[in-house]
Amino acid sequence: MPNTGSATIAGTTVPDLGIPYESCLTEGNPEPCIIVIFGASGDLTARKIVPALYNLYLNNGLPDSFIVIGCARTKLSDQEFRDKMKKFLSAAGTLDVSKWESFAQFLYYQAIDYKGPSSFSALSEFLWKLDKKHGTAGNRIFYLAIPPSLYKSTAQMLGMAGLSLEGEKKKGWSRIVVEKPFGRDLDTAIDLDRSLHEHFNEHQIFRIDHYLAKETVQNILMFRFANSIFEPIWNRRYIDHVSITAAETLGVEHRAGYYEQAGVLRDMFQNHMMQLLALTAMDPPSVFEADRVRDEKVRVYRAMRPFPTGDLDDYLVLGQYGAGSIDTKSVGKTEKKRVPAYRDEPGISPDSLTPTYAMMKIFLDNWRWQGVPFFLTSGKRLAKKRTEIVIQFKEIPHSMFRQTLEEHILANRLVLGIYPDEKISLTFQTKNPGARVCLRSVTMDFHYHQNYTGPTLDAYEKVLLDCMLGDHMLFWRQDGVELCWSFLTPILTECEICATREDALFTYDSGTWGPKAARDLFKNR
């Protein structure tokens, strides 16, 4: 019998529509294809992309005919590439040797010169050869797991080699996957887009944001629009404010070169935080289709009120972590570990003014959200790793208990936990048992994986599967990218040219929740 979830109501078990777990895992059958990974010798390929493809293979999520080709400057044989990927999977403890051998036969490797036309011509010939051998029908995905500085030249080389063609001129389809960042400001984002569109059409471009593929992020739309009880109160009449937090305990780690140029605003706010804002604030689309959903997100971005750049302190707090202590787990117990300040990290300038923390107060000028502040917060070396959306409802307009209650009646709160607690929590007031009228706050919790024992797809597995299916639901569209950069670029410019830039960058101890100025901004909402 297929394994299904269930809920218990008044002692009666109610099945979840009788849908087997397995039928929810993947959607449709991907067409045969070749997946070409540029940057195959890098960390992203070994840690995320190949393990995701391997897990899809184990869960029957890949086409019957598929090939994976790793491409990088490093010279490797097919077997050396396979052995390298196997080593990473073994270290992660996720390797089934016999199944790996079955999967690994579809892995190939081709050394590439990212600026060499002849190198891409050789790749084209290799692809046609594998097409004929494995029956992949001329369908290709080009995954750019490379530094952003190589995006433009790689897209150009693919176009010059005829690898972007599809339709009448070529059998099969061609798609290109681009990792963030999509530029570093509005001008560079437009320039990158122009370069991609010289050879690829918009429907061929998949701008990946793996945050969108997290199950609990996808669940935001289901929670909002598949349940009738919340939508009538999801607006300025009932909601006091919204907090969206993405906190990390990690420091800059091995990304010093990138992070010094990006900072928290470019690293987190232009992509992940803006997507969470849109999912929380958007209106319901007429139908659950990629472009209809993305249309509604774009309307949210258009409604963002521009910051008065001469008065940023009322809307933005920036911080940089200093030395401190963070919690680490060791042999089943939690211990404190001393960590250095950002400026003392390897590869970081000792007088760096790069922010590692930001709290931003955003207003949406539309009918639904007028006057409701959205607090977006993200930072490194904070007290806990936590990603959540908190909907704080307004207090009751009039208390009929004012003559009998001494305590203040707290407003309702809804928490959408994304990581590590994948749950939904609703806080409300009830009476304490006893003769006196006393209130207490209680929380009703739903844990996302409760009563579910089936397999799941992680974020990279989901986006790779959707790319094979040609589904843009979880990918950025260019107008959304440009609108977010239009909002952030004036803020970034003002911060970077500000004469008092150092004074506006607050230091906070590692292992805390950020600078005091952020708490003051929140209190003065």
How far apart are the C-alpha atoms of 392 and 419, rounded to whole Å? 19
Region of 381 (left: φ > 0; alpha: ψ -120 to 50; beta: rest) is left
Rounded Cα distance, 163 and 157, in Å: 9
- Residue 133, Cβ density class (10 Å: 0-12 exposed, 13-18 middle, ≥19 buried): exposed
- From the list 481, 423, 468, 457, the residue with the least C-alpha distance to 209 is 481
Q: Cα–Cα distance between 236 and 363 in angstroms, integer? A: 11
Contacts of 171 (CB under 8 A, 6+ apart): 137, 138
DSSP conformational letter for 283: P
Residue 110 has φ and ψ, to the nearest 5°, of -140, 120
For residues 216 and 435, what is the distance between their CA atoms, to the nearest angstrom?
Answer: 42
Is residue 134 part of the annotated active site? The answer reads: no
State how far the alpha carbon of 513 is from the alpha carbons of 45, 246, 320, 439, 517, in Å: 33, 11, 12, 30, 11
Nearest to 345, CA basis, from 444, 258, 409: 258
Task: Return the percent helix, strand and coil in the chain, to nearest 5.
Answer: 35, 25, 40
Tokens of 187: 């001008």
Catalytic residue among 203, 241, 254, 272: 272
- DSSP line for 114-162: TT-HHHHHHHHHHHHHHHHHHT-TT-EEEEE-S-GGGHHHHHHHHHHTT
User: What DSSP string describes 498-520?
Assistant: -TTTTTTEEEEEETBS--HHHHH
Q: Contact 273/244 with Cβ under 8 angstroms?
A: yes
Q: Are 382 and 248 in contact (CB under 8 A)?
A: yes
Closest CA to 393 of 233, 282, 280: 233
**Sequence-separated (6 or more) residues with CB below 8 Å from residue 454:** 3, 21, 22, 24, 25
Query: Is residue 170 a contact partner of residue 130, using CB atoms and an 8 Å limit?
Result: no
Q: Which residue has the tokens 């490379």?
A: 146
Q: Which residues are designated catalytic?
A: 272
